[in-house]
Chains A and B, each alone.
Chain A
Amino acid sequence: MKNFIFGKLTLDAIPHLWYTIAATVSIIIMMVVSVLFLTKTKRWGWLWHEWLTSTDPKKIGTMYLIFAALMFFRGLIDVGMVWLQQSIAVNSKGYLSADHFQQIFTAHGDIMVFFVTMGIFFGLMNWIIPLQIGARDLAYPFVNSLGLWLTVAGGILINLFFIIGGDFANTGWLATAPLSELEFNPSAGVDYLIWSLQLSGLGSLLAGINFIVTIIKERAPGMTLMKMPLFVWTSFFGMLLIITAFPVLTATTLLLWLDRFFGMHFFTNNFGGNPMMYFNLIWMWGHPEVYILVLPAFGMYSEIVATFSQKKISGYTSMVLAGFTITVLSYLVWLHHFFTMGAGPEVNSFFGIVTMLIAIPSGVQVFNWIFTMYKGKIIFASPMYWFIGFVAIFMLGGITGVFMASPPADFQVHNSLFLVAHFHTMIVGVALFGSFAGITYWFPKIMGFKLNEKLGIRAFWFWLIGFFVSFVPLYLLGFMGAPRRIDRYDASTGWQPLYITAMVGFVIICGGVIIQVYQFIVSIRDRKQNLDTTGDPWNGRTLEWSTPSPPPHYNFAIIPTVTSRDEFWQMKKRGEHPQLQKEYKEYKEYKDIVLPKNTAMGIYISGFAFLFSFAVVWHILWPAVIGLIGTIVCMIILSFDEHREYVLTAAEIAKIEASRVQG
């Protein structure tokens, strides 16, 4: 009976270690504070109707960004704990147990990849892609909301072990088999990891399908494929990678779970299981994932460079082709993650050469960005700082990447800190710097006022210097033979000064983060001085700047007809800036607009899916059944609902537009 009600849950699962108690208390305090705040200001209805149930991609985008920011702080605390341990654990145990240390770097990796970087990209794509292609919405507004809430459910699940369980996976972010099998990892930590990835992976997949259909089907008249802004192109490539790679992740982690739950033998050491198959499968997803993380950032840089050089992007066609080449090649390189597996010289040579080939399209992109700046009237606004910093770091990452693409060299640095330094160079330098550049660039569009430039530039310098101080020592440590993921080492290795230097770099980066938080506070406080009244604060080139900031919920009162690549730039040249047009305000021009209604179904379905996942983690049957049936019933109810849209009449639009022009 006890087994039926609680499954594997026992009293041991309640928080009793210092870090689980600390995390539980802080989570409870945060929840109590937010509940009190919402009740006090009577905002529950507002939160539910205006935000949580919204199907407006702009609001969903904002929620993605807030969620990613929260997860970013979680990931940042993790990495601080890892570096502190490595700075002091010489000839001693340090302050963390080996198991706890492993759990922390596992959580750091998963959170930063799945919830922070992808969260920021989905947030910005939700905001910007419909605006750039001249659409009012994504193709499937409900699916968009569902994708967000599945991702959030995954994010909650990955943090839930603090409160229930106390153990996270200690396997590394990819849940490496056979270490992640039941035999070596009997606690619920790996199950938390698996189901968190199932939920957020499904969310990403749905978002991927949604963006692809949107980009193919919902473009404004006249916008042919080769007239799309480059951010749309690279996001499209990223989404292509998502729909082809994420099913592999879903299937692979599901097989691992079948091993753990049903006692199957896919990746076990015994009964004919094949652990190396896990490496192949997980990296078939894992390598495209790397490009899912960097391609949208490439697109953001393209937009930013062209805008701040006040010049059209150089070599547009070659940029598109380079993006496409990277997309295709990224499927063919997964084996370079385990050259040491012993697949033989022929196989290793093939994957080594294909990996090196990726340097060519990447180089094309960098040269095009530089050519765009050449003879441009460059404005050094803070997004441009992030861009220049990115180019410097990308060089370092590219060179070390090509270096490791050579199997003999890779054998020397395999699983060393050199590798850790390389991929952090790529993800921090490309994806995160790109996110910061993109957020700064599009912030006025999202909020209606600019971020404080001075603080933004200061934060950039902290990040750039902190980055080099952190990661250059890791490259050196890699050459000195320091393996990744060690929780203690001997003083005779001489590694400690470099570890401490890396820790100092982390503190500098934290300084940058604090400045960024302060930048947001100051910018909101002084928003009146930085107000963006024209909707075009940077003298932009693409359609998103032709709308007011922030845009009305229907984006465009009249869908523009596109005739050229930098459509808004051409509009301004022709003197047809829509915000300044008199006819634009006239009632006659407007037509009724069909818009999606808000729906709470995304939250309900994600809630049931969350319940199911939680129950499966702890082997409890009855909530799993409730979760499953609830999900199916919600889907059926939804499929019978034909009235998911409402009509905004031309008269109402005219009223909204007129009030904006006068106000």
Chain B
Amino acid sequence: MKDNLNLNLNVNVKVNATGEVAEEEDIKAFGFWIYLMTDLIIFAVLFATFCVLRNSTFGGPSGRELFHMPSVLAETLALLISSFTCSLAMIEVHQQRKIPAIAWFAVTFILGAIFLSLEVSEFFELIDKGNNWQRSAFLSSFFTLVATHGLHIFIGLLWMICAMFRIWFRPFSAFHISNLFRLALFWHFLDLVWIFIFTVVYGMGHLL
């Protein structure tokens, strides 16, 4: 288990007869890192288009007029705290304690759901006032970037439901823990992307 990318597979985990399981799960984590980097490039394209089209409001409202900072701040806090609780859940997973692990994942899930519902309600508010994605190129790029992140969060939430089921019904195995490890990685990754969205979309939109 040389350079195992912080997978921290617990020594108690049963390794199969050939002793190859730990290494195999390690390889999965490595591939998942590469996948995250490709996903990051998709986000990079969306950020670039947003920055190009930021001022192409076509006579419509700009970000400064539209963004409601308190609710955005609430979203951000929910997501940042969820990243922390996700880490707590992973600590419990490595200790192989089922109930606390599920509890922390449940807290993470609830925070993620709060984030998502705040975001969706923000979208509905914009659409209700006629500022939908057809209004201007700026709003097209705003909705696309933020909703793509939201879609990732939604997938993360689905994954988390599966993860809680699995913790409850299945024993901790290397296969199982590495799956949870990748979920945590995915969740932190989305947190990171959100920090950039907060800065580039909302922060710059509000100030500049």
Assess whether B76 is interfacial by the CB under 8 Å rule. no
Taking the closest CB of chain A, its distance from the CB of B7, in whole angstroms, is: 14
Separation of A263 and B133 alpha carbons in the complex (Å): 8
Q: Which of B114-159 contact A (CB under 8 A)?
A: 133-138, 140-141, 143-144, 158
When chains A and B are docked, how far (Å) is the Cα of A209 from the Cα of B30? 10
Which chain A residues border B10 with CB–CB below 8 Å? none
Give the shortest distance, in Å, between B73 (CB) and chain A (any CB). 27
B31 at the interface (CB under 8 A from A): yes
Distance between Cα atoms of A217 and B23 in the complex (Å): 10
With A266-B53, A277-B49, A642-B175 known to touch, is A209 a contact of B35 (CB < 8 Å)?
yes
Per the bound structure, the CA–CA distance linking A362 and B57 in Å amounts to 45
Flag if B39 contacts A272 (CB, 8 Å).
Answer: no
> Which of A118-126, A240-248, A422-430, A556-564 is the interface stretch?
A240-248
The contact string, 1 if C-beta is below 8 Å from chain B, for chain A 6-17, is 000000000000
B58 touches A271 (CB 8 A): yes
Given the complex of chains A and B, what is the CA–CA distance between A127 and B46 in angstroms?
36
Residues of B within 8 A of A268 (CB): 137
Alpha-carbon distance between A268 and B138 when the two chains are bound, in angstroms: 12
Q: CA of A591 to CA of B18 in the docked complex: distance in angstroms?
A: 9
Binary per-residue interface labels of chain A (632-658) against chain B in the complex, 1 for a CB within 8 Å, 0 otherwise: 100010011010000100000000000
Give complex CA distance A218, B27 in Å.
9
Question: 1/0 per residue A262-283: CB within 8 Å of B?
Answer: 1111101011111001000100
Instruction: Name the distance in Å between A348's Cβ and chain B's nearest Cβ.
Output: 20
Asked, given contacts A246-B38, A251-B42, A264-B133, whether A139 binds B140 with beta carbons under 8 Å apart, the answer is no
Q: Which residues from A are CB-within-8-Å of B45? A: 247-248, 251-252, 281
- Closest B residue, CB atoms, query A218: B27
Q: Pick the contact of A243 from B18, B38, B173 — CB < 8 Å?
A: B38
Let me know if A31 is at the binding interface, CB within 8 A.
no
A263 partner residues in chain B, CB cutoff 8 A: 133-134
Asked if residues B162 and A266 are in contact (CB atoms below 8 Å), the reply is no
Cβ < 8 Å to B, chain A residues 203-218? 205, 209-210, 212-213, 216-218
Q: Once bound together, how far apart are the Cα atoms of A642 and B158, in whole Å?
A: 19
> Which of chain B's residues have a CB closer than 8 A to the CB of A218?
27
Q: Tell me the dominant secondary structure on chain A's binding face.
A: helix
Contact call B27/A244, Cβ cutoff below 8 A: no
Nearest-neighbour CB distance to chain B for A591, whole angstroms, equals 8
Chain A residues with CB under 8 Å of B176's CB are: 642
CB pair B173–A642 under 8 Å, yes or no, is: yes
Closest B residue, CB atoms, query A143: B31
Closest to B165 in A: A640
* B27 near A205: Cβ-Cβ < 8 Å: no
A273 to B135 alpha-carbon distance, docked (Å): 11
Q: Chain B residues near A354: list those with CB within 8 A.
A: none
Q: Are B37 and A243 in contact (CB under 8 A)?
A: yes
- Flag whether A409 is at the interface (Cβ < 8 A): no
Given A250-B42, A265-B140, the answer on whether A272 and B133 have CB atoms closer than 8 Å is no
- What residue of chain A has the Cβ atom nearest to residue B135's Cβ? A271
Given the known interface contacts A248-B41, A274-B137, the answer about A266 and B20 at a Cβ–Cβ threshold of 8 Å is no
Instruction: Kindly state the interface size class of chain A when it binds its partner.
Output: 35 or more
Question: Is B166 engaged at the interface, CB distance under 8 Å to the other chain?
Answer: yes
| Set of chain B residues within 8 Å of A271, measured between Cβ atoms | 58, 134-137
By a CB distance below 8 angstroms, the chain B residues around A592 are 17-18
A379 proximal to B (CB < 8 A)? no
Known contacts A243-B38, A263-B134; A594/B56 CB under 8 A: no
B74 within 8 A of A: no
Query: B96 at interface (Cβ–Cβ under 8 A)?
Result: no
Contacts of B158 in A (CB 8 A): 632, 636
B-chain residues with CB within 8 Å of residue A520 when the two chains form the complex: none
The smallest beta-carbon distance between A113 and chain B, in angstroms, is 20
Q: Which of A281, A632, A640 has the most CB of B within 10 A?
A: A640
Contact A272 B57 (CB under 8 A): yes
Q: Which of A140, A217, A255, A594 contacts B144 (CB 8 A)?
A: A255
User: Is A517 close to B, CB under 8 A?
Assistant: no
Closest to B147 in A: A258
Q: How far is the CA of A591 from the CA of B17 in the complex (A)?
A: 11
Contact of A247 among B18, B39, B53, B166 (CB under 8 A): B39
Contact A264 B41 (CB under 8 A): no
B34: Cβ under 8 A from any A Cβ: yes
The answer to whether A272 and B30 touch across the interface, beta carbons within 8 angstroms, is no
B27 with A217: CB separation less than 8 A: yes
- Which residues 66-116 of B have a CB within 8 angstroms of A? none
CB contact under 8 A between A594 and B20, given known A271-B136, A273-B56: yes
B162 neighbours in A (Cβ, 8 Å)? 636, 639-640
| B200 contacts chain A at the CB level, 8 A cutoff | no
* B38 touching A209, Cβ below 8 Å: yes
**What CA separation (Å) do A271 and B137 show in the bound complex?**
6
Q: Does the CB pair A262–B133 fall under 8 Å?
A: yes
A72 to chain B, nearest CB (A): 28
Known: A243-B34, A255-B144, A642-B175. A272 touches B41 (CB 8 A): no
Judged by a CB distance under 8 angstroms, whether B52 is at the interface is yes
Q: Which residues of A contact B52 (CB under 8 A)?
A: 274, 277
Q: Are the CB atoms of A265 and B38 closer together than 8 Å?
A: no
Residues in chain A near residue B20, CB distance under 8 A: 594
CB closest residue in chain B, given A285: B45
CA distance A32 to B136 in the complex (A): 51
Residues in A neighbouring B56, C-beta threshold 8 A: 272-274
Residue on A with the closest CB to B31? A213
Q: Let me know if A272 and B18 touch, CB within 8 A.
A: no
When chains A and B are docked, how far (Å) is the Cα of A259 from the Cα of B140? 9
Interchain CA distance A265-B27 in the complex, whole Å = 41
Measured between alpha carbons, how far is A418 from B49 in the docked complex, in Å? 32
Q: A632 — which chain B residues lie within 8 A by C-beta?
A: 158
- Distance from A145 Cβ to chain B, minimum over Cβ atoms (Å): 15
Provide the residues of chain A in CB contact with B133, threshold 8 Å: 258, 262-264
Q: Contacts of A243 on B, CB cut-off 8 Å?
A: 34, 37-38
Within 8 A of B (CB), among A365-417: none
User: Which residue of the partner chain, among A212, A264, A640, contacts B166 with CB atoms under 8 Å?
Assistant: A640
Name the residue among B20, B27, B143, B158 with the largest chain A CB count within 10 angstroms.
B27
Query: How distant is B78 from chain A, measured CB to nearest CB, in Å?
Result: 24
- Give CA–CA (A273, B144) in the complex, Å: 14
Interface contacts beyond A592-B18, A642-B173: sample of 13 additional A-B pairs, CB < 8 Å, sorted by A:
A140-B28, A209-B31, A209-B34, A209-B35, A243-B38, A248-B42, A264-B140, A265-B58, A271-B137, A272-B136, A277-B49, A277-B52, A594-B20
**10 pairs of A and B residues whose beta carbons are closest in the complex:** A272-B56, A272-B137, A264-B140, A247-B41, A251-B45, A272-B58, A265-B137, A263-B134, A213-B31, A247-B42
Q: Which positions in A face B, CB cutoff 8 Å?
A: 139-140, 143, 205, 209-210, 212-213, 216-218, 243-244, 246-248, 250-252, 255, 258-259, 262-266, 268, 270-274, 277, 281, 591-592, 594, 632, 636, 639-640, 642, 647
Could you give 29 example pairs across A and B, Cβ below 8 Å?
Answer: A209-B34, A212-B34, A213-B30, A217-B30, A218-B27, A244-B38, A248-B42, A255-B49, A258-B133, A258-B144, A259-B140, A263-B134, A264-B140, A264-B143, A265-B137, A266-B144, A268-B137, A271-B136, A272-B138, A273-B53, A273-B137, A274-B56, A274-B137, A281-B45, A281-B48, A592-B18, A594-B16, A636-B158, A639-B179
